[in-house]
Amino acid sequence: MSFINLMAREINCKIVYYGPGLCGKTTNLQYIYERTNPEAKGKMISLATETDRTLFFDFLPLALGEIRGFKTRFYLYTVPGQVFYDASRKLILKGVDGVVFVADSQIARMEANQESLENLRTNLAEQGYSLDKLPYVIQYNKRDMPDIGSVEELRELLNPTNVPEFEACARTGVGVFDTLKAVAKLVLTELKRGGP
Protein backbone atom coordinates (compact mmCIF):
# COMPACT_ATOMS: atom_id res chain seq x y z
CA MET A 1 0.00 0.00 0.00
CA SER A 2 1.67 3.17 -1.14
CA PHE A 3 1.65 6.15 1.16
CA ILE A 4 1.09 9.56 -0.38
CA ASN A 5 1.72 12.60 1.75
CA LEU A 6 0.16 15.55 -0.07
CA MET A 7 1.46 17.97 2.54
CA ALA A 8 5.11 16.92 2.34
CA ARG A 9 4.70 16.00 -1.35
CA GLU A 10 6.09 12.54 -0.84
CA ILE A 11 5.19 9.16 -2.15
CA ASN A 12 6.49 5.99 -0.51
CA CYS A 13 6.21 2.48 -1.94
CA LYS A 14 7.17 -0.91 -0.56
CA ILE A 15 8.92 -3.54 -2.65
CA VAL A 16 9.55 -7.04 -1.30
CA TYR A 17 12.28 -9.40 -2.54
CA TYR A 18 11.02 -12.97 -2.12
CA GLY A 19 12.64 -16.32 -2.90
CA PRO A 20 14.12 -19.50 -1.44
CA GLY A 21 16.91 -19.56 1.14
CA LEU A 22 20.33 -18.45 -0.17
CA CYS A 23 18.97 -17.31 -3.55
CA GLY A 24 20.53 -13.85 -3.19
CA LYS A 25 17.81 -11.51 -1.93
CA THR A 26 20.05 -9.85 0.64
CA THR A 27 22.89 -9.74 -1.91
CA ASN A 28 20.61 -7.79 -4.28
CA LEU A 29 19.98 -5.18 -1.58
CA GLN A 30 23.63 -5.04 -0.60
CA TYR A 31 24.65 -4.36 -4.19
CA ILE A 32 22.02 -1.63 -4.55
CA TYR A 33 23.20 -0.12 -1.28
CA GLU A 34 26.85 -0.11 -2.36
CA ARG A 35 26.13 1.43 -5.74
CA THR A 36 23.72 4.16 -4.73
CA ASN A 37 24.74 7.76 -4.01
CA PRO A 38 24.88 8.46 -0.28
CA GLU A 39 22.27 11.22 -0.60
CA ALA A 40 19.78 8.85 -2.26
CA LYS A 41 19.87 6.11 0.32
CA GLY A 42 19.25 5.60 4.00
CA LYS A 43 20.89 3.08 6.25
CA MET A 44 20.55 -0.57 5.29
CA ILE A 45 19.22 -2.62 8.16
CA SER A 46 19.71 -6.37 8.32
CA LEU A 47 18.08 -8.40 11.05
CA ALA A 48 20.19 -11.50 10.64
CA THR A 49 21.38 -14.49 12.63
CA GLU A 50 24.97 -14.86 13.81
CA THR A 51 25.70 -16.79 10.63
CA ASP A 52 24.37 -13.92 8.50
CA ARG A 53 21.15 -15.62 7.48
CA THR A 54 18.19 -13.24 7.36
CA LEU A 55 16.17 -13.68 10.54
CA PHE A 56 13.38 -11.19 10.01
CA PHE A 57 14.10 -8.79 7.16
CA ASP A 58 16.59 -6.50 5.44
CA PHE A 59 15.46 -2.96 4.82
CA LEU A 60 16.83 -0.34 2.46
CA PRO A 61 15.16 3.02 1.85
CA LEU A 62 15.92 4.57 -1.55
CA ALA A 63 15.04 8.02 -2.87
CA LEU A 64 14.62 7.84 -6.61
CA GLY A 65 14.05 11.50 -7.35
CA GLU A 66 11.01 13.62 -8.08
CA ILE A 67 8.04 12.90 -10.22
CA ARG A 68 5.73 15.86 -10.84
CA GLY A 69 7.08 17.52 -7.72
CA PHE A 70 6.61 14.46 -5.51
CA LYS A 71 9.65 12.95 -3.83
CA THR A 72 9.54 9.29 -4.75
CA ARG A 73 10.85 6.82 -2.19
CA PHE A 74 11.08 3.08 -2.44
CA TYR A 75 11.42 0.96 0.65
CA LEU A 76 13.07 -2.33 -0.26
CA TYR A 77 12.56 -5.33 2.00
CA THR A 78 13.73 -8.93 1.83
CA VAL A 79 12.05 -11.84 3.58
CA PRO A 80 13.88 -14.65 5.39
CA GLY A 81 14.11 -17.41 2.80
CA GLN A 82 14.44 -20.41 5.07
CA VAL A 83 11.28 -22.51 5.08
CA PHE A 84 10.67 -22.41 8.84
CA TYR A 85 10.47 -18.60 8.98
CA ASP A 86 7.09 -18.57 7.27
CA ALA A 87 5.34 -16.59 10.01
CA SER A 88 7.86 -13.76 9.57
CA ARG A 89 7.58 -13.86 5.78
CA LYS A 90 3.85 -13.27 5.98
CA LEU A 91 4.38 -10.16 8.09
CA ILE A 92 6.80 -8.59 5.64
CA LEU A 93 4.31 -8.94 2.80
CA LYS A 94 1.80 -6.68 4.53
CA GLY A 95 1.21 -3.52 2.55
CA VAL A 96 3.42 -4.61 -0.35
CA ASP A 97 3.27 -2.58 -3.59
CA GLY A 98 5.57 -4.68 -5.75
CA VAL A 99 7.28 -8.07 -5.61
CA VAL A 100 10.60 -9.33 -6.98
CA PHE A 101 10.90 -13.10 -6.98
CA VAL A 102 14.57 -14.03 -6.89
CA ALA A 103 15.03 -17.53 -8.27
CA ASP A 104 18.21 -19.56 -7.80
CA SER A 105 19.23 -20.76 -11.28
CA GLN A 106 21.04 -23.85 -10.01
CA ILE A 107 19.35 -27.08 -11.07
CA ALA A 108 19.61 -28.44 -7.52
CA ARG A 109 17.44 -25.54 -6.28
CA MET A 110 14.55 -25.87 -8.73
CA GLU A 111 12.27 -27.53 -6.23
CA ALA A 112 13.10 -24.89 -3.63
CA ASN A 113 12.23 -22.18 -6.19
CA GLN A 114 8.88 -23.76 -6.94
CA GLU A 115 8.07 -24.23 -3.27
CA SER A 116 8.96 -20.63 -2.48
CA LEU A 117 6.87 -19.29 -5.36
CA GLU A 118 3.92 -21.37 -4.22
CA ASN A 119 4.48 -20.08 -0.69
CA LEU A 120 4.49 -16.50 -2.02
CA ARG A 121 1.14 -17.03 -3.74
CA THR A 122 -0.36 -18.61 -0.61
CA ASN A 123 0.90 -15.92 1.74
CA LEU A 124 -0.32 -13.14 -0.55
CA ALA A 125 -3.72 -14.79 -0.92
CA GLU A 126 -4.05 -14.98 2.87
CA GLN A 127 -3.94 -11.21 2.91
CA GLY A 128 -6.30 -10.78 0.01
CA TYR A 129 -3.66 -10.10 -2.63
CA SER A 130 -3.17 -11.93 -5.88
CA LEU A 131 0.31 -12.21 -7.35
CA ASP A 132 -1.24 -11.88 -10.82
CA LYS A 133 -2.59 -8.45 -9.96
CA LEU A 134 0.48 -7.05 -8.25
CA PRO A 135 3.45 -5.37 -9.93
CA TYR A 136 5.74 -8.37 -10.12
CA VAL A 137 9.02 -9.34 -11.82
CA ILE A 138 11.28 -12.40 -11.71
CA GLN A 139 15.03 -12.48 -11.45
CA TYR A 140 16.98 -15.60 -12.45
CA ASN A 141 19.98 -15.18 -10.18
CA LYS A 142 23.36 -16.92 -10.02
CA ARG A 143 23.77 -17.15 -13.80
CA ASP A 144 27.53 -17.41 -13.19
CA MET A 145 27.25 -20.73 -11.35
CA PRO A 146 27.90 -24.15 -12.88
CA ASP A 147 24.97 -26.59 -13.25
CA ILE A 148 22.29 -24.03 -13.90
CA GLY A 149 19.01 -24.43 -15.72
CA SER A 150 18.47 -22.63 -19.02
CA VAL A 151 16.32 -19.50 -19.02
CA GLU A 152 13.72 -21.42 -21.05
CA GLU A 153 13.53 -24.11 -18.39
CA LEU A 154 13.28 -21.57 -15.60
CA ARG A 155 10.60 -19.66 -17.48
CA GLU A 156 8.53 -22.78 -18.00
CA LEU A 157 8.72 -23.71 -14.33
CA LEU A 158 8.49 -20.32 -12.67
CA ASN A 159 7.08 -17.78 -15.08
CA PRO A 160 3.98 -19.19 -16.76
CA THR A 161 2.34 -15.76 -16.82
CA ASN A 162 5.27 -14.16 -18.62
CA VAL A 163 6.03 -11.32 -16.25
CA PRO A 164 9.22 -9.29 -16.91
CA GLU A 165 12.23 -11.50 -16.21
CA PHE A 166 15.92 -10.75 -15.75
CA GLU A 167 19.08 -12.80 -15.69
CA ALA A 168 21.34 -11.75 -12.87
CA CYS A 169 24.44 -12.32 -10.85
CA ALA A 170 23.73 -10.34 -7.71
CA ARG A 171 27.25 -10.73 -6.33
CA THR A 172 28.75 -8.83 -9.26
CA GLY A 173 25.64 -6.73 -9.81
CA VAL A 174 24.65 -8.00 -13.24
CA GLY A 175 20.90 -7.50 -13.68
CA VAL A 176 20.35 -6.09 -10.18
CA PHE A 177 19.39 -2.56 -11.20
CA ASP A 178 17.48 -3.76 -14.27
CA THR A 179 15.30 -5.82 -11.94
CA LEU A 180 14.78 -2.94 -9.51
CA LYS A 181 13.96 -0.45 -12.26
CA ALA A 182 11.46 -2.81 -13.85
CA VAL A 183 9.52 -3.41 -10.64
CA ALA A 184 9.68 0.27 -9.65
CA LYS A 185 8.25 1.24 -13.05
CA LEU A 186 5.43 -1.26 -12.68
CA VAL A 187 4.62 0.10 -9.20
CA LEU A 188 4.50 3.70 -10.46
CA THR A 189 2.39 2.69 -13.45
CA GLU A 190 -0.03 0.97 -11.08
CA LEU A 191 -0.12 4.10 -8.94
CA LYS A 192 -0.98 6.14 -12.00
CA ARG A 193 -3.95 3.86 -12.55
CA GLY A 194 -5.11 4.54 -9.01
CA GLY A 195 -4.14 1.24 -7.36
CA PRO A 196 -3.17 -0.84 -5.59
Partner 1 sequence: MVNPQMVMYEEEFNQIQTVVDHLVKSANARSVFIVDKNGQLIAASGDVEHLDTTSLASLTAGNIAATGGMAKLLKENEFATQFHEGERANVYIMLVGNRVILVVIFDAKSSLGLVRLRVKKASEELNHIFENLLKKVAEPGGESPFAEITDEDIDNLFND
Number of residues near partner 1 (by CB under 8 A): 48
62, β-bridge pairs: 41, 74
Q: How far is CA 147 from the centre of its chain?
A: 24
3-class state of residue 3 by DSSP? strand
- Interaction pattern, residues 119-138, with partner 1; x per rule: CB under 8 A: --------xxx---x-----
Examine residue 31 and tell whether it contacts partner 1 (CB under 8 A). Answer: no
> In angstroms, what CA-CA distances link 125 with 29, 76, 159?
26, 21, 18
Q: Does 3 bind partner 1 (CB under 8 A)?
A: yes
Q: Is the CB of 43 or the CB of 146 nearer to partner 1?
A: 43
Query: 47 — alpha (psi -120 to 50), left (phi > 0) or beta?
Result: beta
Smallest Cα–Cα separation from 170: which of 58, 2, 93?
58
Contacts of partner 1 in 66-85 (CB under 8 A):
67-68, 70, 72, 75
Which positions lie near partner 1, rule CB under 8 A?
1-8, 11-12, 14, 42-43, 45, 47, 56-57, 59, 61, 64-65, 67-68, 70, 72, 75, 87-88, 90-92, 94-95, 127-129, 133, 181, 184-185, 188-189, 191-196
